Amino acid sequence: MGSEWKEYELKDILTISYGKSLTKKDRIPGNYNVYGSGGVIGTNKNYLVEGPGIIIGRKGTVGSVYYEKGNFYPIDTTYYIEKSEKYDIKFIYYMLRQARLDKMNSHSAVPGLNREDLYRLKFRIPEKPEQQKIASILSAFDDKIELNNEMNKTLEEIAQAIFKHWFIDFEFPNENGEPYKSSGGEFVDSELGLIPKGWEVERLGGSKISKLLTSGIEQFENKKIYLATADVEGTRIINRTTRITYDDRPSRANMQPKARTIWFARMKDSKKLILVDDFSKDIIDNYIFSTGFAGIECFNFSLYYLWCFICNDNFESIKNALCNGTTMQAINNENINKINILIPSEQILIDFHNIIKPLYEMIYHLDMQNTYLIQIRDTLLPKLISGEIRVM
């Protein structure tokens, strides 16, 4: 252990400042991230704090800790810490992440974090050169994880661009390899307007390429990872740790994923999606999903075509328009079956599948790499911050 590290109260090391009110209507979108207690909530043309800095959730998501390398604007539900010559700001970030500030709620009705309670926290801290070395090691993991996420975002954008070119602009290659619409391809009228000759329109919930999954499960063996819609952000699973057994499973844990399925949140204005392709089918066997997800089974080389269709913002608009309910609006099975989908020719589906599949294979492998990197980083974090492992 770092026996020569000195112990300090947080108030002796740094200053914790209050964020400033900036309502959504007062924000002018710009180059600087706006932070609430739950993370980035938008952008603004002006910043409040010169980065790098740390943001701490004060109200709402109590004790959340974020690092921002650029200039930023923390709103009044947060505290912030500025850089200083006295300490390495990235080391302080990792130290506070390890401190479990989320357990320090001091308000009973509305969750809140008291600044004086923060100031009284005690930490053993090395000299600044060792702080920098520790932060450098942990940052290397975070930088690689961020790079992988950016690569995945780019790959998904490429897939969507090809989808739009082929199935919205109808410029898929014809039998001569020329763009269909531009080279005078023939169109016919349909419920969705003019579509290429030979293509059809059917319903998402039941067609030659898709089926809505409606049945739950009676039982399951061993432990499962329960996944609710709150555990998914966009197309990323953000909570892989919650495990349940049959006896104490949440009542909504009743949807069993399988290979070649797509899952989307039923709730209005909730774009949360999960792709279960051949690469992830072995892992997904350990999961059970909430009934807050609707599942679509895909046939005949349609998996990536339907995934791009459901990822598209147009699908989200269609889903939202079909949501109903008084307390919480969501789409039901009956309305899912009203959603029209375009059924391309089999050869076009095959060609699209063969182009897009390698992109999602790479996405899967980068996601798996991130899973391992996160595990290693989270194992090293407490050992480095406590001095159990020294970096000299």
pLDDT digits (tens), the chain, 392 positions: 557 899 999 999 999 999 999 999 999 999 999 999 999 999 999 999 999 999 999 998 899 999 999 999 999 999 999 999 999 999 999 999 999 898 887 665 667 899 999 999 999 999 999 999 999 999 999 999 999 999 999 999 999 999 999 999 999 999 999 999 999 999 999 999 999 999 999 999 999 999 999 877 766 677 788 888 988 888 877 666 667 777 777 788 888 888 899 999 999 999 999 999 888 777 777 888 999 999 999 998 999 999 999 999 999 999 999 999 878 899 999 999 999 999 999 999 999 999 999 999 999 899 889 989 999 999 999 999 999 998 87
CATH fold group of domain 200-343: Adenine-n6-DNA-methyltransferase TaqI; Chain A, domain 2 (3.90.220)
The reply to whether 200-343 shares the fold of 6-124 is yes
How far is CA 161 from its chain centroid?
20
pLDDT at 108 (0 to 100)? 59
Burial 322-349 (b: 16+ CB within 10 A, else e): bbeeeeeebbeeebbeebebbbbeeebb
pTM of the model: 0.84
Helix/strand/coil for 379: helix
Which residue ranges make up each domain of the chain?
A: 6-124, 200-343
Q: 109 phi and psi, to 5 degrees?
A: -80, -65
pLDDT at 369 (0 to 100)? 93
CA dihedral sign of residues 240, 242, 243, 248? negative
pLDDT at 241 (0 to 100)? 60
pLDDT at 214 (0 to 100)? 87
pLDDT at 304 (0 to 100)? 96
Report the half-sphere exposure of 202 (CA within 13 A, side-chain side): 15
pLDDT at 1 (0 to 100)? 59
Q: Look up the CATH number of domain 6-124.
A: 3.90.220.20
